[in-house]
Structure 1
């Protein structure tokens, strides 16, 4: 039979009697991240939970609006009141009309609630923290580009378009390859690297359903650049940089799919200082109150700002665990009016060790899938490795992600023409470790000329036995394949698919290969840390 429920777990329905019974307490609504899916995962749920904890400590009644039963944010005891509702404007407004909160927090939930910010404010609901205009400034490529130009900050050439004709003109002005995506998307959905006009037209046709009324963003693609993620907290007067993560993969790989090392340790002269300066400058100029994430790319010694997100990022929980600081709780206090000084955060935190973030992919469940990474996110989880050195941290992360680098055997190497010089020290290190090397004609000749013994094998389209044949026979233990350009990316797909189907480690960038070699030098008796030593 029916019985009275004492847990405030609410949902909407079409009935004449409302059982919500809101209180008269000072309250703030938190918008969750919605269903877990690629691009919007449990990292944002972590942020929503810690926002609720911080608001509760400040004396607010917390109202969580989310629709995922498999998360901690929808546990009955995380927030004071839970509305199990879709994160649509209609449902959120109806809850707000019933509860009458002081405001709504959108930063912790990621891109899903961020998309609602402007509409919520138009409906009279105050967005707590970073002003809606600053959110729009970050998302509006035209306005954001003008801000960077005024501040003298470098950015990739970019443009926006609403039609095929406009897109083709913008791409022609920028020069191929270009990075294209719809605005306000999750996890790089439908994002592509495009190398020619016919590819761009085909992409626009394919992505029409996602683009809808939004504009298409078109950016110069910085091929072969290095990427960094910076997370920071700004209170309107001061910016504290929580951490700079160095991506192991090069620019063009979605940040959620890229392995990363914290603290970043490979910088060209002046790049770190410039990165910190730009982060503080943008945080203050944009009027950020709370969390912000900036993605940078460095190419040929020049630093570019790729994008600014005035919200939580998927790396915030990682940095909170690494630094031992409750970053989301501090940022939430800042959103409701506390200063960084009042929160006890006076300077940028210093990491006690090296920390590696590694993604977990579902490729084993999808035989025949190409493992080549790109701007559209494909990972379904991530792990952390902790070590005294970057190599030790990276190896632990790889093992946690289920990737076991070989200690002996044969390595197949096939790199693009730009990488043929840079791959030489990597190949020499593998040779010194006792590995046999094999490669396609161009790579093998480059290594042989450098004095590194390398067996030459056919490309897939040159005959048999070719590289894919050797992989299928079990004669290869590790694959290093760095495609460049559209033709190379797709011509070598068979090699990557064959390696994936056999469960071999596949490395598609030289930076990842360098990290892997450093890890392979480490013996298995590295230091282990107890989980209890890390409080967050």
Structure 2
């Protein structure tokens, strides 16, 4: 029995249905009768010819148990439908329903910060300082101990729901009042927020003994943005080889330590030249279809076969696949359809889709992905630059490349002064809180064709709110990291001299 993802909503979309369909096809090839439980008519998994039997039922314990009692299956698979079926694992385990693949105790261990923290200590894997709270008093004590800013979330959340970055005690109190209403009865997990870190997403497969990394993706958004909302590139663009070696080693330690059988997703941060584990999900992630398409391997297919006893060696997948060229994933947002909606991104997922781009060169892959997401990059015009102090040295060659391509440079006062010191001609503009006309006004007036803004700290997020709202309304591409800006300038440079090539999938 395979449990689907249920109704489509933000954080729980067709990426998981893709995994369910691939898994069902693999198990049928292995000679098993397959039973799908799902309640979404907009999915492929509920088509009449995908599984041997379909139960169009809600994904609630009593409904799933009724199917199990009727079918008497070898086991139930909860790993492919996202957080919805995973949340049923505890009740199914309590009722004696066999769960195929990663055992429930491992699923629970990964979500229990206390036990998971002890496992990381045993494996000598670094993590941000953290704490767990059952009420407001405990939460405030934990935050005071580990220091602000903090990333807070309830346990067992879907798509980052009710997650937030809090920069001070007043914001944390406000968050706690909201979280209690949204997800009552859940403990609150509080992590030290590693601002200005590089974030990396890894998917891996394990048969219980051998572990293979499927792919390592680098996020091209600032730290704290939900992985589903972040531009991601495969292979990584700006991660040192020694850090990649550390990540591979730690993924294998975690998979064996948790007893993973099937797929696992691990999220890392690289902060001040050190690798930290942020989160481990012992299930298929929303990036599995992206990796499968980029690398030509159906990883959910392989995972399903592992759950019924096959090994990675038998399936011929014993080494990390090597990417051919660069694949870039860009999120698609619904903000244009909802005037007045707050467009600022954070740890709670907002995107409703994604687009891919592929090319031999990173810059062109980025351009293609942006075009696919209906955010084409300009070939000329004015680029507006506003970066924090840590990024200014790295910004200079990027700004010079934009100028060499014929772009006019517009920048906020601090950034403009620095670039002028580098010999560049730059026009100044106010930040949003400095007076008018400010940078958001310039966007509304059609004076900006591309925006590069790298916020850091609580004050910068006031500007980011106004900038992102203006950029979305005026359809101006907004890049929030210098990695994305570097990709953009490289891609635009190639666009001026080459015709976009199209490759068959």
TM over 0.5: yes
For the 8 Å contact 1:392–1:526, the answer to whether it is kept is no
* Partner deviation per Cα, 1:259-299 (whole Å, 9 max, x = no partner): 11112242224111111111111111211011001111111
> What residue in structure 2 maps to residue 528 of structure 1?
501
The DSSP-based 3-state class of the residue aligned with 2:494 is coil
Q: Distance in 1 between matches of 2:464 and 2:42?
A: 39
> What residue in structure 1 maps to residue 221 of structure 2?
249
| 1:454 matched to 2:398 | no
Q: Distance in 1 between matches of 2:405 and 2:90?
A: 57
Q: Distance in 1 between matches of 2:347 and 2:454?
A: 16
For the 8 Å contact 2:266–2:278, the answer to whether it is kept is yes
> What residue in structure 2 maps to residue 406 of structure 1?
378
The DSSP-based 3-state class of the residue aligned with 2:451 is strand
Q: Distance in 2 between matches of 1:259 and 1:111?
A: 22
> What residue in structure 1 maps to residue 201 of structure 2?
229
The DSSP-based 3-state class of the residue aligned with 2:328 is strand
1:313-332 to 2 correspondences below 5 Å: 313-332=285-304
For the 8 Å contact 1:387–1:527, the answer to whether it is kept is no
> What residue in structure 1 maps to residue 178 of structure 2?
206
User: Which segment drifts farther, 475-484 or 251-260?
Assistant: 475-484
Q: Distance in 2 between matches of 1:71 and 1:500?
A: 29
Q: Distance in 2 between matches of 1:463 and 1:182?
A: 39
* Partner deviation per Cα, 1:159-183 (whole Å, 9 max, x = no partner): 1111000000101111000001111
| 1:40 matched to 2:9 | no
Could you say if the C-alpha distance between residues 165 and 187 of structure 1 is closer, same or farther in structure 2, counting changes exceeding 3 Å?
Answer: same
- Structure 1 residue 124 displacement after superposition: 1.1
The DSSP-based 3-state class of the residue aligned with 1:229 is strand
Which of 455, 459, 479 does residue 483 from structure 1 map onto?
455
Q: Distance in 1 between matches of 2:313 and 2:66?
A: 37
> What residue in structure 2 maps to residue 288 of structure 1?
260
Q: Distance in 1 between matches of 2:478 and 2:212?
A: 37
Q: Distance in 2 between matches of 1:296 and 1:461?
A: 34
Q: Distance in 2 between matches of 1:348 and 1:417?
A: 38
- Structure 1 residue 354 displacement after superposition: 1.4
> What residue in structure 2 maps to residue 274 of structure 1?
246
| 1:169 matched to 2:141 | yes
For the 8 Å contact 2:379–2:495, the answer to whether it is kept is no
* Partner deviation per Cα, 1:290-325 (whole Å, 9 max, x = no partner): 100111111121001111111000111111111111
Could you say if the C-alpha distance between residues 469 and 251 of structure 1 is closer, same or farther in structure 2, counting changes exceeding 3 Å?
Answer: closer
Which of 101, 105, 130 does residue 102 from structure 2 map onto?
130
Q: Runs of 4 or more off by more than 6 Å in structure 1?
A: none
- Greater C-alpha radius of gyration: 1
Q: Distance in 2 between matches of 1:491 and 1:281?
A: 41
Which of 490, 496, 505 does residue 468 from structure 2 map onto?
496
For the 8 Å contact 2:219–2:232, the answer to whether it is kept is yes
> What residue in structure 2 maps to residue 21 of structure 1?
none
> What residue in structure 2 maps to residue 13 of structure 1?
none
State the Cα RMSD in Å.
1.4
Q: Distance in 2 between matches of 1:321 and 1:491?
A: 37
Could you say if the C-alpha distance between residues 71 and 306 of structure 1 is closer, same or farther in structure 2, counting changes exceeding 3 Å?
Answer: same
TM-score of the two chains, using structure 2 as the length reference: 0.97
> What residue in structure 2 maps to residue 6 of structure 1?
none
TM-score of the two chains, using structure 1 as the length reference: 0.91
* Partner deviation per Cα, 1:68-120 (whole Å, 9 max, x = no partner): 00000000111111111111111111111111111100111111111111210
User: Which segment drifts farther, 343-352 or 45-54?
Assistant: 343-352
For the 8 Å contact 1:246–1:262, the answer to whether it is kept is yes
User: Which segment drifts farther, 463-472 or 336-345?
Assistant: 463-472
> What residue in structure 2 maps to residue 188 of structure 1?
160
> What residue in structure 2 maps to residue 139 of structure 1?
111
Could you say if the C-alpha distance between residues 364 and 273 of structure 1 is closer, same or farther in structure 2, counting changes exceeding 3 Å?
Answer: same
> What residue in structure 2 maps to residue 306 of structure 1?
278
Q: Distance in 1 between matches of 2:70 and 2:101?
A: 22
> What residue in structure 2 maps to residue 54 of structure 1?
26
Which of 376, 391, 406 does residue 434 from structure 1 map onto?
406
Which runs of no fewer than 5 residues in structure 1 stay unpaired? Answer: 1-28
Query: Matched residue pairs, number?
Result: 504
Q: Distance in 2 between matches of 1:498 and 1:259?
A: 20
> What residue in structure 2 maps to residue 416 of structure 1?
388
For the 8 Å contact 2:161–2:348, the answer to whether it is kept is yes
Q: Distance in 2 between matches of 1:42 and 1:248?
A: 23
For the 8 Å contact 1:372–1:508, the answer to whether it is kept is no
Q: Distance in 2 between matches of 1:370 and 1:434?
A: 34
- Structure 1 residue 400 displacement after superposition: 0.2
Q: Distance in 1 between matches of 2:389 and 2:71?
A: 62
User: Which segment drifts farther, 330-339 or 441-450?
Assistant: 441-450
User: Which segment drifts farther, 121-130 or 471-480?
Assistant: 471-480
The DSSP-based 3-state class of the residue aligned with 2:393 is coil
For the 8 Å contact 1:368–1:501, the answer to whether it is kept is no
